[in-house]
Structure 1
Amino acid sequence: MIVSTRQESPLARLPDWYRSPLGQEVARLECACVQGLLNTIFGYHLVQIGATEVFRDVLAASRIRHRVLMPFESVLDSEGSRVIGSVQQLPFSSDSIDAVLLPHTLDFASDPQGVLGEVERILIPEGRVVIVGFNALSPWGARRLLWRSKGRMPWCGRFHRPGQVRDWLSVQGCDLECCEYRMFRPPLASLQGPRCGGFDLMGRRFWPILGGIYVMRAVKRVATVTPLRPRMAKASALLSGRAVRPTTRGTGHV
Protein backbone atom coordinates (compact mmCIF):
# COMPACT_ATOMS: atom_id res chain seq x y z
CA MET A 1 0.00 0.00 0.00
CA ILE A 2 1.19 3.53 -0.73
CA VAL A 3 0.22 6.30 1.67
CA SER A 4 0.77 9.94 0.76
CA THR A 5 1.30 12.70 3.28
CA ARG A 6 -1.02 15.66 3.55
CA GLN A 7 1.47 18.51 3.74
CA GLU A 8 3.94 19.81 1.20
CA SER A 9 7.54 19.25 2.29
CA PRO A 10 10.99 19.93 0.82
CA LEU A 11 11.53 16.18 1.22
CA ALA A 12 9.32 15.71 -1.83
CA ARG A 13 12.18 17.17 -3.90
CA LEU A 14 14.75 14.72 -2.56
CA PRO A 15 14.09 12.03 -5.21
CA ASP A 16 15.15 14.50 -7.92
CA TRP A 17 18.40 15.21 -6.07
CA TYR A 18 19.09 11.47 -5.78
CA ARG A 19 19.22 11.36 -9.60
CA SER A 20 22.19 13.76 -9.69
CA PRO A 21 25.75 12.32 -9.80
CA LEU A 22 26.33 13.24 -6.16
CA GLY A 23 22.91 11.94 -5.13
CA GLN A 24 23.47 8.63 -6.91
CA GLU A 25 26.67 8.02 -4.98
CA VAL A 26 24.92 8.89 -1.71
CA ALA A 27 22.04 6.55 -2.58
CA ARG A 28 24.45 3.70 -3.29
CA LEU A 29 26.15 4.03 0.09
CA GLU A 30 22.92 4.50 2.00
CA CYS A 31 21.16 1.53 0.40
CA ALA A 32 24.04 -0.81 1.18
CA CYS A 33 24.11 0.29 4.81
CA VAL A 34 20.34 0.20 5.30
CA GLN A 35 20.09 -3.25 3.75
CA GLY A 36 22.66 -4.56 6.21
CA LEU A 37 20.71 -3.18 9.17
CA LEU A 38 17.34 -4.44 7.91
CA ASN A 39 18.59 -7.98 7.21
CA THR A 40 18.52 -8.87 10.91
CA ILE A 41 15.03 -7.46 11.56
CA PHE A 42 12.09 -9.86 11.50
CA GLY A 43 8.37 -9.25 11.70
CA TYR A 44 5.20 -8.68 9.71
CA HIS A 45 4.93 -4.96 8.93
CA LEU A 46 7.49 -2.35 7.84
CA VAL A 47 6.74 1.33 7.21
CA GLN A 48 8.96 3.67 5.20
CA ILE A 49 8.34 7.41 5.44
CA GLY A 50 9.77 9.57 2.65
CA ALA A 51 12.12 8.94 -0.34
CA THR A 52 10.41 5.68 -1.23
CA GLU A 53 11.80 5.08 -4.74
CA VAL A 54 15.49 5.05 -3.80
CA PHE A 55 15.10 2.24 -1.26
CA ARG A 56 12.60 0.14 -3.20
CA ASP A 57 15.07 -2.69 -3.91
CA VAL A 58 16.32 -2.59 -0.32
CA LEU A 59 12.82 -3.10 1.03
CA ALA A 60 12.14 -5.82 -1.52
CA ALA A 61 15.08 -7.77 -0.08
CA SER A 62 13.89 -7.32 3.51
CA ARG A 63 12.74 -10.30 5.54
CA ILE A 64 9.62 -8.31 6.41
CA ARG A 65 7.27 -9.01 3.53
CA HIS A 66 4.40 -6.57 4.21
CA ARG A 67 5.49 -3.00 3.53
CA VAL A 68 3.76 0.37 3.62
CA LEU A 69 5.31 3.28 1.71
CA MET A 70 4.53 6.78 2.91
CA PRO A 71 6.11 9.22 0.44
CA PHE A 72 5.92 12.98 0.75
CA GLU A 73 4.69 13.37 -2.81
CA SER A 74 1.09 12.62 -3.82
CA VAL A 75 0.84 9.08 -5.17
CA LEU A 76 -2.03 6.92 -6.38
CA ASP A 77 -2.05 3.26 -5.52
CA SER A 78 -2.80 0.48 -7.97
CA GLU A 79 -6.55 0.90 -7.54
CA GLY A 80 -6.41 4.65 -8.11
CA SER A 81 -7.47 5.64 -4.58
CA ARG A 82 -5.60 8.20 -2.51
CA VAL A 83 -4.73 7.45 1.12
CA ILE A 84 -3.59 10.48 3.14
CA GLY A 85 -1.55 10.56 6.34
CA SER A 86 0.64 12.89 8.36
CA VAL A 87 4.04 12.34 9.91
CA GLN A 88 2.81 14.21 12.97
CA GLN A 89 -0.08 11.76 13.36
CA LEU A 90 0.77 8.50 11.62
CA PRO A 91 -2.29 6.57 10.37
CA PHE A 92 -1.36 3.32 12.12
CA SER A 93 -2.55 1.66 15.30
CA SER A 94 -0.38 1.79 18.40
CA ASP A 95 1.96 -1.19 18.90
CA SER A 96 1.26 -2.55 15.40
CA ILE A 97 4.43 -2.03 13.32
CA ASP A 98 7.60 -4.12 13.52
CA ALA A 99 10.02 -1.71 11.83
CA VAL A 100 10.11 1.88 10.53
CA LEU A 101 12.59 3.34 8.02
CA LEU A 102 13.15 7.12 8.10
CA PRO A 103 15.41 8.10 5.16
CA HIS A 104 16.23 11.77 5.83
CA THR A 105 12.73 12.24 7.23
CA LEU A 106 14.03 14.01 10.33
CA ASP A 107 16.22 16.31 8.21
CA PHE A 108 13.14 17.89 6.66
CA ALA A 109 10.52 17.50 9.39
CA SER A 110 9.30 20.63 11.17
CA ASP A 111 9.09 18.67 14.44
CA PRO A 112 11.57 15.77 14.35
CA GLN A 113 10.99 14.89 18.01
CA GLY A 114 7.26 14.67 17.33
CA VAL A 115 7.93 12.30 14.43
CA LEU A 116 9.99 10.04 16.70
CA GLY A 117 7.21 10.15 19.27
CA GLU A 118 4.75 8.87 16.68
CA VAL A 119 7.22 6.21 15.54
CA GLU A 120 7.59 4.98 19.11
CA ARG A 121 3.81 4.84 19.45
CA ILE A 122 3.23 2.62 16.42
CA LEU A 123 6.19 0.30 17.04
CA ILE A 124 5.62 -2.96 18.85
CA PRO A 125 7.77 -3.59 21.95
CA GLU A 126 11.29 -4.39 20.69
CA GLY A 127 10.35 -2.98 17.28
CA ARG A 128 13.13 -1.25 15.34
CA VAL A 129 13.55 2.13 13.71
CA VAL A 130 16.28 2.79 11.12
CA ILE A 131 17.17 6.45 10.62
CA VAL A 132 19.21 7.90 7.74
CA GLY A 133 20.36 11.50 8.08
CA PHE A 134 22.92 14.09 7.08
CA ASN A 135 25.52 14.64 9.78
CA ALA A 136 25.74 18.24 10.99
CA LEU A 137 29.27 17.56 12.31
CA SER A 138 30.84 16.92 8.91
CA PRO A 139 31.91 18.74 5.75
CA TRP A 140 28.34 18.24 4.58
CA GLY A 141 27.07 20.13 7.60
CA ALA A 142 29.59 22.91 6.96
CA ARG A 143 28.42 23.29 3.36
CA ARG A 144 24.83 23.45 4.51
CA LEU A 145 25.67 26.50 6.65
CA LEU A 146 26.86 28.25 3.48
CA TRP A 147 24.13 27.07 1.10
CA ARG A 148 20.95 26.82 3.20
CA SER A 149 19.79 30.32 2.25
CA LYS A 150 19.78 29.31 -1.43
CA GLY A 151 16.98 26.82 -0.85
CA ARG A 152 18.75 24.06 -2.76
CA MET A 153 18.35 20.39 -2.03
CA PRO A 154 19.53 18.92 0.28
CA TRP A 155 21.07 22.00 1.89
CA CYS A 156 17.64 23.49 2.64
CA GLY A 157 17.12 20.80 5.29
CA ARG A 158 18.04 20.95 8.96
CA PHE A 159 20.91 18.57 9.56
CA HIS A 160 21.23 17.10 13.06
CA ARG A 161 24.05 15.75 15.18
CA PRO A 162 23.84 11.96 15.60
CA GLY A 163 24.22 12.42 19.36
CA GLN A 164 21.23 14.74 19.35
CA VAL A 165 19.10 12.16 17.52
CA ARG A 166 20.26 9.51 19.99
CA ASP A 167 19.09 11.68 22.89
CA TRP A 168 15.70 12.22 21.22
CA LEU A 169 15.35 8.46 20.82
CA SER A 170 16.18 7.90 24.48
CA VAL A 171 13.54 10.40 25.58
CA GLN A 172 10.98 8.59 23.43
CA GLY A 173 11.81 5.23 24.98
CA CYS A 174 14.19 3.79 22.38
CA ASP A 175 17.73 2.50 22.85
CA LEU A 176 20.41 2.97 20.19
CA GLU A 177 21.71 -0.36 18.88
CA CYS A 178 24.25 0.85 16.33
CA CYS A 179 25.28 3.88 14.32
CA GLU A 180 27.31 3.73 11.10
CA TYR A 181 28.84 6.58 9.11
CA ARG A 182 29.28 6.87 5.36
CA MET A 183 30.43 9.43 2.75
CA PHE A 184 33.67 10.87 4.08
CA ARG A 185 34.32 12.70 0.82
CA PRO A 186 33.48 16.41 0.58
CA PRO A 187 30.08 17.07 -1.05
CA LEU A 188 31.48 17.70 -4.51
CA ALA A 189 30.46 15.74 -7.60
CA SER A 190 34.06 15.82 -8.87
CA LEU A 191 35.22 13.79 -5.83
CA GLN A 192 32.82 10.89 -6.28
CA GLY A 193 33.35 7.55 -7.95
CA PRO A 194 35.68 4.57 -7.36
CA ARG A 195 38.86 6.60 -7.88
CA CYS A 196 38.10 8.68 -4.79
CA GLY A 197 37.36 5.74 -2.54
CA GLY A 198 40.50 6.48 -0.53
CA PHE A 199 38.62 9.25 1.27
CA ASP A 200 36.19 6.69 2.69
CA LEU A 201 38.93 4.27 3.70
CA MET A 202 40.82 6.95 5.58
CA GLY A 203 37.68 8.42 7.08
CA ARG A 204 36.45 5.15 8.53
CA ARG A 205 39.86 4.62 10.09
CA PHE A 206 40.86 8.05 11.38
CA TRP A 207 37.71 10.18 11.74
CA PRO A 208 34.68 7.84 11.67
CA ILE A 209 32.23 10.25 13.34
CA LEU A 210 32.77 12.89 10.64
CA GLY A 211 30.98 11.00 7.86
CA GLY A 212 28.51 13.11 5.93
CA ILE A 213 25.78 10.49 6.41
CA TYR A 214 24.80 8.53 9.49
CA VAL A 215 22.59 5.44 9.58
CA MET A 216 21.41 4.34 13.01
CA ARG A 217 19.15 1.63 14.32
CA ALA A 218 17.28 1.80 17.61
CA VAL A 219 14.95 -0.56 19.45
CA LYS A 220 11.81 0.31 21.39
CA ARG A 221 12.32 -0.49 25.05
CA VAL A 222 10.00 -2.90 26.81
CA ALA A 223 8.59 -1.30 29.93
CA THR A 224 9.07 -3.35 33.08
CA VAL A 225 5.93 -3.56 35.18
CA THR A 226 5.70 -4.76 38.76
CA PRO A 227 3.41 -7.82 38.76
CA LEU A 228 0.04 -7.20 40.44
CA ARG A 229 -2.34 -9.65 41.97
CA PRO A 230 -4.40 -11.14 39.10
CA ARG A 231 -8.06 -10.18 38.98
CA MET A 232 -10.95 -11.61 37.04
CA ALA A 233 -11.83 -9.52 34.00
CA LYS A 234 -15.11 -9.41 32.19
CA ALA A 235 -15.15 -11.12 28.83
CA SER A 236 -16.65 -8.05 27.20
CA ALA A 237 -13.71 -5.92 28.36
CA LEU A 238 -11.24 -8.28 26.75
CA LEU A 239 -13.05 -8.11 23.42
CA SER A 240 -13.66 -4.39 23.26
CA GLY A 241 -10.24 -3.30 22.01
CA ARG A 242 -10.50 -0.36 19.65
CA ALA A 243 -7.11 -0.57 17.95
CA VAL A 244 -7.01 -2.79 14.87
CA ARG A 245 -3.80 -4.17 13.51
CA PRO A 246 -3.15 -4.05 9.75
CA THR A 247 -4.39 -7.10 7.85
CA THR A 248 -2.17 -9.26 5.68
CA ARG A 249 -4.59 -10.44 3.01
CA GLY A 250 -4.23 -10.48 -0.72
CA THR A 251 -1.00 -9.46 -2.38
CA GLY A 252 1.18 -9.59 0.72
CA HIS A 253 1.11 -5.84 1.36
CA VAL A 254 -0.50 -4.13 4.34
Structure 2
Amino acid sequence: MRPALSHIPVPMPTSWQQLPWGEWLLQQVAAGLDPWWPKLFGYHMVKLGPLATSLNASLSPIRHQLVISADAGDAYAELEALPIRCRTVDACVLPLVLDFHQDPHQVLREADRILVEGGHMVIVSYNPLSPLALGLASPTHRSKPPWNGRLFTPNRVKDWLGLLGYQVVGEEPLAFSSFLWSPDKFVWPQQMLHQYLPASGSVYMLVARKLAAPLTPAKPLWRPRKRLVVAPAALGRGAAKQHRQTKNG
Protein backbone atom coordinates (compact mmCIF):
# COMPACT_ATOMS: atom_id res chain seq x y z
CA MET A 1 0.00 0.00 0.00
CA ARG A 2 1.41 3.37 -1.01
CA PRO A 3 1.75 6.00 1.71
CA ALA A 4 -0.77 8.82 1.58
CA LEU A 5 1.88 11.53 1.84
CA SER A 6 3.74 12.18 -1.41
CA HIS A 7 6.90 14.26 -1.70
CA ILE A 8 6.34 14.69 -5.44
CA PRO A 9 3.89 17.44 -6.47
CA VAL A 10 0.70 16.12 -8.03
CA PRO A 11 -0.73 18.46 -10.70
CA MET A 12 -4.36 19.18 -9.89
CA PRO A 13 -6.72 19.73 -12.84
CA THR A 14 -8.13 23.24 -12.87
CA SER A 15 -11.19 22.33 -14.94
CA TRP A 16 -13.24 19.28 -15.79
CA GLN A 17 -12.21 19.63 -19.42
CA GLN A 18 -8.67 18.58 -18.47
CA LEU A 19 -9.98 15.15 -17.44
CA PRO A 20 -10.88 12.40 -19.92
CA TRP A 21 -14.53 12.82 -20.83
CA GLY A 22 -14.69 15.51 -18.18
CA GLU A 23 -18.00 17.04 -19.26
CA TRP A 24 -19.68 13.64 -19.08
CA LEU A 25 -18.08 12.98 -15.70
CA LEU A 26 -19.30 16.33 -14.37
CA GLN A 27 -22.83 15.35 -15.36
CA GLN A 28 -22.52 12.03 -13.52
CA VAL A 29 -21.15 13.73 -10.39
CA ALA A 30 -23.89 16.37 -10.50
CA ALA A 31 -26.56 13.68 -10.86
CA GLY A 32 -25.14 11.81 -7.88
CA LEU A 33 -24.99 14.94 -5.71
CA ASP A 34 -28.45 16.30 -6.54
CA PRO A 35 -30.36 13.92 -4.18
CA TRP A 36 -27.96 14.80 -1.35
CA TRP A 37 -28.03 18.60 -1.56
CA PRO A 38 -31.45 18.92 0.18
CA LYS A 39 -30.17 16.71 3.02
CA LEU A 40 -27.34 19.08 3.93
CA PHE A 41 -28.58 21.64 6.44
CA GLY A 42 -26.94 24.59 8.15
CA TYR A 43 -25.69 28.08 7.42
CA HIS A 44 -22.32 27.69 5.67
CA MET A 45 -20.99 25.34 2.98
CA VAL A 46 -17.40 25.19 1.75
CA LYS A 47 -16.44 23.51 -1.53
CA LEU A 48 -12.74 22.81 -1.97
CA GLY A 49 -10.64 22.67 -5.12
CA PRO A 50 -10.88 24.29 -8.57
CA LEU A 51 -13.32 21.66 -9.85
CA ALA A 52 -15.86 22.74 -7.23
CA THR A 53 -16.58 25.96 -9.12
CA SER A 54 -18.65 23.97 -11.65
CA LEU A 55 -20.78 22.15 -9.06
CA ASN A 56 -24.28 23.61 -8.78
CA ALA A 57 -25.53 23.26 -5.19
CA SER A 58 -28.64 25.41 -5.56
CA LEU A 59 -30.80 22.51 -4.31
CA SER A 60 -29.16 22.76 -0.89
CA PRO A 61 -30.95 24.82 1.78
CA ILE A 62 -27.54 26.21 2.79
CA ARG A 63 -27.51 29.71 1.32
CA HIS A 64 -23.96 30.82 2.07
CA GLN A 65 -21.62 28.78 -0.14
CA LEU A 66 -17.92 29.40 -0.68
CA VAL A 67 -15.41 27.85 -3.10
CA ILE A 68 -11.82 27.78 -1.86
CA SER A 69 -8.87 26.84 -4.05
CA ALA A 70 -5.24 27.77 -4.55
CA ASP A 71 -5.91 29.44 -7.91
CA ALA A 72 -9.68 29.64 -8.46
CA GLY A 73 -12.95 30.18 -6.65
CA ASP A 74 -14.29 32.76 -4.21
CA ALA A 75 -11.24 32.66 -1.93
CA TYR A 76 -7.63 31.74 -2.61
CA ALA A 77 -5.90 29.51 -0.07
CA GLU A 78 -4.00 26.28 0.28
CA LEU A 79 -6.34 23.38 1.02
CA GLU A 80 -4.10 22.09 3.81
CA ALA A 81 -4.30 25.44 5.66
CA LEU A 82 -7.80 26.87 5.32
CA PRO A 83 -8.34 30.46 6.58
CA ILE A 84 -11.53 29.53 8.44
CA ARG A 85 -12.26 29.34 12.15
CA CYS A 86 -12.76 25.98 13.82
CA ARG A 87 -16.25 24.48 13.83
CA THR A 88 -17.96 27.13 11.74
CA VAL A 89 -18.92 25.19 8.57
CA ASP A 90 -21.92 22.87 8.21
CA ALA A 91 -20.93 21.05 5.00
CA CYS A 92 -17.65 20.54 3.18
CA VAL A 93 -17.45 19.15 -0.38
CA LEU A 94 -14.22 17.73 -1.85
CA PRO A 95 -14.63 16.84 -5.57
CA LEU A 96 -11.55 14.89 -6.77
CA VAL A 97 -9.35 16.70 -4.24
CA LEU A 98 -7.75 13.76 -2.45
CA ASP A 99 -6.67 12.29 -5.80
CA PHE A 100 -4.49 15.26 -6.72
CA HIS A 101 -3.00 16.48 -3.44
CA GLN A 102 0.36 15.68 -1.88
CA ASP A 103 -1.04 15.36 1.65
CA PRO A 104 -4.64 14.12 1.60
CA HIS A 105 -4.50 13.39 5.35
CA GLN A 106 -3.90 17.06 6.10
CA VAL A 107 -6.70 18.11 3.74
CA LEU A 108 -9.11 15.86 5.61
CA ARG A 109 -7.90 17.15 8.97
CA GLU A 110 -8.46 20.74 7.84
CA ALA A 111 -11.94 19.91 6.58
CA ASP A 112 -12.65 18.19 9.89
CA ARG A 113 -11.33 21.20 11.83
CA ILE A 114 -13.75 23.67 10.24
CA LEU A 115 -16.80 21.36 10.38
CA VAL A 116 -19.30 21.61 13.22
CA GLU A 117 -20.40 18.51 15.09
CA GLY A 118 -23.14 16.91 13.04
CA GLY A 119 -21.81 18.51 9.86
CA HIS A 120 -21.31 16.57 6.63
CA MET A 121 -18.27 15.89 4.49
CA VAL A 122 -18.85 14.89 0.86
CA ILE A 123 -15.97 13.25 -1.01
CA VAL A 124 -15.84 12.39 -4.72
CA SER A 125 -12.85 10.35 -5.81
CA TYR A 126 -11.48 7.89 -8.35
CA ASN A 127 -11.30 4.19 -7.52
CA PRO A 128 -8.16 2.26 -8.60
CA LEU A 129 -9.96 -1.09 -8.17
CA SER A 130 -12.22 -0.47 -11.15
CA PRO A 131 -12.13 -0.38 -14.97
CA LEU A 132 -9.98 2.72 -14.48
CA ALA A 133 -7.07 0.37 -13.72
CA LEU A 134 -6.83 -0.50 -17.44
CA GLY A 135 -5.17 2.85 -18.02
CA LEU A 136 -2.47 2.11 -15.43
CA ALA A 137 -1.12 -0.63 -17.69
CA SER A 138 -0.23 1.91 -20.37
CA PRO A 139 2.87 4.11 -19.86
CA THR A 140 1.22 6.74 -22.06
CA HIS A 141 -1.81 7.07 -19.81
CA ARG A 142 0.03 6.77 -16.49
CA SER A 143 1.45 10.27 -17.00
CA LYS A 144 -1.98 11.82 -17.63
CA PRO A 145 -4.91 12.54 -15.31
CA PRO A 146 -6.56 10.78 -13.65
CA TRP A 147 -4.00 7.96 -13.76
CA ASN A 148 -1.20 10.23 -12.53
CA GLY A 149 -3.20 10.93 -9.38
CA ARG A 150 -3.19 9.17 -6.02
CA LEU A 151 -6.31 6.97 -6.55
CA PHE A 152 -7.37 5.78 -3.10
CA THR A 153 -9.91 2.98 -2.67
CA PRO A 154 -13.24 3.73 -0.94
CA ASN A 155 -12.38 1.45 1.98
CA ARG A 156 -9.14 3.30 2.63
CA VAL A 157 -10.86 6.68 2.66
CA LYS A 158 -13.57 5.29 4.93
CA ASP A 159 -10.87 4.14 7.34
CA TRP A 160 -9.47 7.68 7.44
CA LEU A 161 -12.93 9.08 8.12
CA GLY A 162 -13.52 6.55 10.87
CA LEU A 163 -10.31 7.61 12.61
CA LEU A 164 -11.47 11.22 12.50
CA GLY A 165 -14.79 10.28 14.11
CA TYR A 166 -17.13 10.18 11.11
CA GLN A 167 -19.99 7.89 10.21
CA VAL A 168 -20.44 7.15 6.51
CA VAL A 169 -24.13 7.69 5.79
CA GLY A 170 -23.96 7.36 2.01
CA GLU A 171 -21.78 5.61 -0.56
CA GLU A 172 -22.59 5.61 -4.25
CA PRO A 173 -20.74 4.66 -7.45
CA LEU A 174 -21.00 7.41 -10.04
CA ALA A 175 -19.33 5.91 -13.12
CA PHE A 176 -18.07 2.56 -14.38
CA SER A 177 -16.13 3.73 -17.42
CA SER A 178 -12.42 3.08 -17.96
CA PHE A 179 -12.16 6.61 -19.48
CA LEU A 180 -9.92 5.17 -22.22
CA TRP A 181 -12.71 5.58 -24.75
CA SER A 182 -16.14 7.14 -24.92
CA PRO A 183 -18.47 6.10 -22.06
CA ASP A 184 -21.08 5.41 -24.75
CA LYS A 185 -19.08 2.36 -25.78
CA PHE A 186 -19.37 -0.96 -23.96
CA VAL A 187 -22.52 0.13 -22.15
CA TRP A 188 -23.59 -3.44 -21.38
CA PRO A 189 -20.48 -4.28 -19.27
CA GLN A 190 -20.92 -1.03 -17.36
CA GLN A 191 -24.52 -1.92 -16.58
CA MET A 192 -23.48 -5.38 -15.39
CA LEU A 193 -20.86 -3.90 -13.07
CA HIS A 194 -23.38 -1.42 -11.71
CA GLN A 195 -25.85 -4.19 -10.97
CA TYR A 196 -23.61 -6.94 -9.64
CA LEU A 197 -20.37 -5.19 -8.57
CA PRO A 198 -21.30 -1.68 -7.44
CA ALA A 199 -18.10 -1.45 -5.37
CA SER A 200 -16.11 -1.45 -8.63
CA GLY A 201 -17.28 2.00 -9.68
CA SER A 202 -14.55 4.03 -11.36
CA VAL A 203 -15.71 7.15 -9.50
CA TYR A 204 -17.41 7.00 -6.11
CA MET A 205 -19.02 9.39 -3.66
CA LEU A 206 -18.87 9.20 0.13
CA VAL A 207 -21.12 11.22 2.44
CA ALA A 208 -19.95 11.20 6.06
CA ARG A 209 -21.42 12.83 9.16
CA LYS A 210 -19.22 14.17 11.95
CA LEU A 211 -20.20 12.52 15.21
CA ALA A 212 -20.59 14.57 18.36
CA ALA A 213 -18.23 13.82 21.23
CA PRO A 214 -19.91 12.72 24.49
CA LEU A 215 -20.40 15.50 27.04
CA THR A 216 -19.42 13.34 30.01
CA PRO A 217 -16.54 10.87 30.03
CA ALA A 218 -17.52 7.22 30.00
CA LYS A 219 -17.02 5.34 33.26
CA PRO A 220 -14.34 2.65 33.22
CA LEU A 221 -15.61 -0.90 33.06
CA TRP A 222 -13.03 -2.17 35.54
CA ARG A 223 -13.00 -1.69 39.30
CA PRO A 224 -10.02 -1.89 41.65
CA ARG A 225 -9.84 -5.13 43.58
CA LYS A 226 -10.75 -4.98 47.25
CA ARG A 227 -8.25 -6.16 49.82
CA LEU A 228 -8.82 -9.77 50.78
CA VAL A 229 -9.48 -10.15 54.52
CA VAL A 230 -8.83 -13.65 55.82
CA ALA A 231 -11.35 -14.79 58.45
CA PRO A 232 -9.95 -16.10 61.75
CA ALA A 233 -11.58 -19.46 61.06
CA ALA A 234 -9.30 -19.89 58.12
CA LEU A 235 -6.26 -19.48 60.34
CA GLY A 236 -4.70 -22.08 62.60
CA ARG A 237 -5.91 -22.52 66.19
CA GLY A 238 -2.97 -20.67 67.66
CA ALA A 239 -3.30 -17.80 65.26
CA ALA A 240 -7.06 -17.63 65.85
CA LYS A 241 -6.59 -17.52 69.65
CA GLN A 242 -3.95 -14.80 69.31
CA HIS A 243 -6.34 -12.88 67.01
CA ARG A 244 -9.10 -12.99 69.66
CA GLN A 245 -6.75 -11.87 72.43
CA THR A 246 -5.54 -8.97 70.35
CA LYS A 247 -9.13 -7.98 69.55
CA ASN A 248 -10.25 -8.13 73.26
CA GLY A 249 -7.16 -6.78 74.61
User: In which range does the TM-score fall when normalised by the shorter chain?
Assistant: 0.7 to 0.9
2:89 matched residue in structure 1: 97
1:159 matched residue in structure 2: 151
Deviation at 1:99, TM superposition (A): 0.1
1:67 matched residue in structure 2: 65
Separation of aligned partners in 1, 2:111 and 2:123? 11
- Partner of residue 179 from structure 2, selected from 173, 183, 187: 187
The structure-2 alpha-carbon separation of the partners of 1:225 and 1:110, relative to structure 1 and needing over 3 Å to count, comes to same
Post-superposition Cα deviations, 1:209-239, rounded to whole Å, max 9, x if no partner, equal 0010010100111000217xxxxxxxxxxxx
Aligned residues: 208
Written as runs of structure 1 = structure 2, the 5 A alignment for 1:220-235 is: 220-226=210-216
Contact 1:41–1:64 at 8 Å: present in 2 too?
yes
1:24 matched residue in structure 2: 23
**Bigger Rg over Cα:** 2
Contact 1:14–1:153 at 8 Å: present in 2 too?
no
The structure-2 alpha-carbon separation of the partners of 1:218 and 1:184, relative to structure 1 and needing over 3 Å to count, comes to same
Deviation at 1:74, TM superposition (A): 4.3
The structure-2 alpha-carbon separation of the partners of 1:106 and 1:148, relative to structure 1 and needing over 3 Å to count, comes to farther
2:76 matched residue in structure 1: 84
- Partner of residue 168 from structure 1, selected from 160, 163, 170: 160
- Partner of residue 121 from structure 1, selected from 113, 123, 141: 113
TM-score norm. by structure 1 comes to 0.74
Deviation at 1:35, TM superposition (A): 1.8
* Misfit runs of 4+, over 2 Å: 12-16, 71-75, 144-151, 195-201
The structure-2 alpha-carbon separation of the partners of 1:36 and 1:144, relative to structure 1 and needing over 3 Å to count, comes to farther
The structure-2 alpha-carbon separation of the partners of 1:72 and 1:145, relative to structure 1 and needing over 3 Å to count, comes to farther
Contact 1:184–1:203 at 8 Å: present in 2 too?
yes
Contact 1:132–1:214 at 8 Å: present in 2 too?
yes
1:42 matched residue in structure 2: 41
* 3-state SS of paired residue (2:53): coil
* 3-state SS of paired residue (1:95): coil
Separation of aligned partners in 1, 2:139 and 2:93? 27
CA RMSD of aligned residues (A): 2.2
Separation of aligned partners in 1, 2:174 and 2:136? 17
Partner letter of residue 124 of structure 2? V
Unmatched 5+ residue regions in structure 2? 1-8, 218-249
Separation of aligned partners in 1, 2:157 and 2:198? 17
Contact 1:138–1:211 at 8 Å: present in 2 too?
yes
Partner letter of residue 47 of structure 2? Q
1:54 matched residue in structure 2: 54
1:216 matched residue in structure 2: 206
TM-score norm. by structure 2 comes to 0.76
| More displaced 10-residue stretch of structure 1: 94-103 or 30-39 | 30-39
